[in-house]
């Protein structure tokens, strides 16, 4: 039981670290997206989303949606992003 508790504690710390780092990366992405022309420059937004995806390859898709659910920027190709 002691070994299992140790394994669980290690897994908990690793999971917590992962989500703390992800939160920081998302904050940075949000700040980058809001800087300068903001979301008015869709090419810049798409480049930032692609960069985020490249830095976090465990994500299969990274998309930025407006309030109606329309894709504003995507790390996928335009053809693939247009699919429902």
Q: Write the pLDDT tens digit of every residue in 53-70.
A: 999 988 888 998 888 998
d(CA 35, CA 78): 24
- The tens digit of pLDDT for each residue in 17-48 reads 999 999 999 999 999 999 988 788 888 988 99
d(CA 35, CA 40): 11
d(CA 81, CA 75): 8
Confidence of residue 77 (pLDDT cuts 50, 70, 90): low
Residue 65: alpha-carbon gap to chain centroid: 12
Residue for token pair 């949606």: 65
Paired residues of 65 in beta bridges: 71
């Amino acid at each position: 039981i002691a070994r299992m508790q140790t394994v669980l504690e290690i897994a908990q710390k690793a999971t917590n670290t992962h989500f703390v780092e992800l939160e920081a990366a998302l904050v940075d992405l949000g700040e980058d997206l809001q800087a300068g022309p903001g979301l008015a420059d869709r090419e810049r937004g798409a480049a930032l989303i692609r960069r985020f995806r490249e830095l976090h390859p465990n994500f299969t898709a990274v998309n930025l949606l407006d309030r109606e659910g329309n894709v504003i920027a995507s790390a996928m190709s335009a053809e693939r992003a247009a699919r429902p």
